[in-house]
Amino acid sequence: MSAALLRRIVIVGGGSAGWMTAAALSSLLDPKDVTITLVESDAIGTVGVGEATIPDILAFNQMLGVSEAEFMAATQATFKLGIEFVDWGAKGERYIHPFGQHGVDMQGIDFHQYWLRARDDGAREPIEAYSLCALAAQAGRFALPDPNPRSVLSQIRYAYHFDATLYARFLRRYAEARGVVRVEGIVGDVRQGADGTIAGLTLRDGRTVEGDFFFDCTGFRALLLGETLSTGFVDWSHWLPCDTALAVPSEHAGPPTPYTRATARDAGWQWRIPTQRRVGNGHIYASAFQSEAVARETLLANLDASALGDPRRIAFKAGCREAFWRGNCVAIGLAAGFLEPLESTSIYLIQEGISRFISLFPRGDIPDILRTEYNRHMRTEFEQVRDFIVLHYAATTRDDTPFWRYCRTMTLPDTLLHKIELFRETGRVFRYNDELFARPSWVAVMLGQGIVPAACDPIVATLPAGDVAHSLASMRQAMAAAVERMPRHADFLSRYCPAVAA
Ligand SMILES: Cc1cc2nc3c(=O)[nH]c(=O)nc-3n(C[C@H](O)[C@H](O)[C@H](O)COP(=O)(O)OP(=O)(O)OC[C@H]3O[C@@H](n4cnc5c(N)ncnc54)[C@H](O)[C@@H]3O)c2cc1C
């Protein structure tokens, strides 16, 4: 390799990770300067269940310059305003983790401190009564955010539910139109140069693919970074013991809800993700605590409508690679690591891996410091997402099954323990290093699962009770009135982005 620009980029794998990488790079690089080749095998197939996303995906689509309505129609997408958690903190309880904020911060003090003060004064509305996204989700309504920051509707934040297979297909069309060359075939051998970097691939039929830089998007197998470059795996299954998913689509039982539902079960949880044409369902469970037969029965007994096929089993382990970039190879997607989809973060982590790579785009001779920076950043991202997901299991009063007794008593990562204790004792939450989940998300989940701070902010505690109650009542009324004016989610979809046939 020379110190010149990388000339030949090779992506191995054509799931969401591979095609997102191909689309992003092809939107930036001129094929006259840099060729991009993507190798995938229809015979191996993809995981194809990544269906719920978080608002950061809007930035990815904007980077590609794709029309939202076109993307949504092609992927049969619906809007998502948050996640409803059922039976997590205690059986019979539910709460919404909405996108966006609760209420409005006042005098530089976080809104939830005012909510805690009102609670001390006897108010009983849940904090989600002050979230426009939560209220709209519950009412089955949706509107795009108002660009006017004075409008209540400017508080809307949203993401999508979509069909992951159609998403990869959509991105493939995009990338191929920008010069990406797709090679169909199974990689049989990964060839290394004398310095240990990857030199090329040999397909099972004998064809070869050469490259200067390689993306390992081969899914759980991690063929390049894991198998060839022997990069170890950091196992977090002691904090996230679920290791199996059973996934099955079903028919709709009513109009698609603009939110994901995650219902806790005896040894894990079940997702419900509505797209325009069907509902994605899955049961994630810990095989050490439940048999596949019981998990399957639980899933099928808890669908809203008839299953469209047999459940598909996917085994996984929570954790990430010890390094994400070694030599001339970066792993993106499941090859980089996996955290269960409780907060819909995998596609975000793919996006983050791609954007960080682009921001560090190397020349042919890659200085070690680039790899160090990339690995440091991605490890922090994975750990921060991990902590937020573990919070849902740890903050529970459930002790009705061995699984929940394990979760509520497990030793937590120090970083998470600190956050929980700081909130429990003082009501404070801070966001470190631009972490993905900001204060409102931590507050929503901690309050939702029964961690209530001992006291509110001492400055807010001195305010006249009537003033606090009046401010909160005005916010509630403004939000409720705004939700009334929003169109029904199903009507909005049918006008804005009706699904096109797959
Ligand atoms: C149960 C479950 C639920 C999920 N839900 C969500 C969700 O709601 N939201 C979210 O954001 N994410 C979710 N995800 C994650 C999401 O599905 C994945 O992150 C995403 O699909 C990326 O997968 P991938 O492209 O890395 O791997 P895969 O989809 O497995 O693709 C791997 C690719 O590599 C190719 N390949 C492998 N070996 C070879 C070889 N030897 N030769 C040639 N090609 C090869 C395959 O053909 C395939 O094209 C979920 C994941 C699971 C397991």
Distance CA 349, CA 324 (A): 12
Q: What are the φ and ψ backbone dihedral angles of 181, each rounded to 5 degrees?
A: -100, 125
Does the pLDDT at position 369 exceed 90? yes
Of all helices (H) and strands (E), which one includes residue 189?
strand 187-192
Question: Residue 369, SS3?
Answer: helix
| Confidence category of residue 501, pLDDT binned at 50, 70, 90 | confident
pLDDT for 262-306, tens place per residue?
Answer: 999 999 999 999 999 999 999 999 999 999 999 999 999 999 999
Does the pLDDT at position 153 exceed 90? yes
389 closest CA partner among 450, 451, 461, 445: 445
Percent of the chain whose predicted confidence (pLDDT) is above 90: 95
103 within ligand 1 shell (Cβ under 6 A): no
pLDDT for 312-359, tens place per residue?
Answer: 999 999 999 999 999 999 999 999 999 999 999 999 999 999 999 999
Percent of the chain whose predicted confidence (pLDDT) is above 70: 99
pLDDT, residue 50, reads: 67
What is the rounded average pLDDT of the residues 425-432?
91
Q: For atom 49 of ligand 1, which residue has the closest CA?
A: 14
Does the pLDDT at position 465 exceed 90? yes
Instruction: Sort residue 391 into left (φ over 0), alpha (ψ -120 to 50) or beta.
Output: alpha
What pTM did the predictor assign?
0.96
The single residue listed with the structure tokens 């792993």 is 331
Domain range list for the chain: 8-51+163-235+318-384, 97-156+413-489, 244-315
| DSSP E strand stretches across 348-394 | none
**What is the distance in A from the centroid of ligand 1 to the CA of 232?**
19
Given ligand 1 and candidates 41, 47, 340, which is best to mutate, with the most ligand atoms within 8 Å of its CB?
47
Does the pLDDT at position 434 exceed 90? no
Radius of gyration of the chain (CA): 23
Q: What is the CATH number of domain 8-51+163-235+318-384?
A: 3.50.50.60
CB 270 within 8 A of CB 262: yes
| Confidence category of residue 1, pLDDT binned at 50, 70, 90 | very low
CB 97 within 8 A of CB 445: yes
The β-bridge relationship of strands 260-265 and 244-250 is unpaired
| Confidence category of residue 49, pLDDT binned at 50, 70, 90 | confident
The conformation of residue 377, written as its DSSP 8-state character, comes to H
AA letter at 177: A
**What is the distance in A from the centroid of ligand 1 to the CA of 13?**
9
Question: Residue 215, SS3?
Answer: strand
What is the rounded average pLDDT of the residues 199-206?
97
281 within ligand 1 shell (Cβ under 6 A): no
Longest dimension (CA), the chain: 78
The β-bridge relationship of strands 35-40 and 181-184 is parallel
pLDDT, residue 3, reads: 57
Q: For residue 85, give Cα distances in angstroms to 218, 384, 433, 440.
A: 32, 20, 27, 16
Question: Residue 192, SS3?
Answer: strand
Residue 397 CB contacts under 8 Å (≥ 6 apart), including other chains: 89, 90, 408, 450
352 within ligand 1 shell (Cβ under 6 A): no
The conformation of residue 22, written as its DSSP 8-state character, comes to H
pLDDT for 70-80, tens place per residue?
Answer: 999 999 999 99
And the tokens for 465? 């009770």
Q: Give the count of beta carbons closer than 10 Å to the beta carbon of residue 221.
A: 13
Given ligand 1 and candidates 10, 20, 44, 228, which is best to mutate, with the most ligand atoms within 8 Å of its CB?
44
CB 323 within 8 A of CB 382: no
| Confidence category of residue 502, pLDDT binned at 50, 70, 90 | confident
Does the pLDDT at position 180 exceed 70? yes
Q: Which atom of ligand 1 is nearest to the CA of 344?
A: 9
The conformation of residue 322, written as its DSSP 8-state character, comes to S
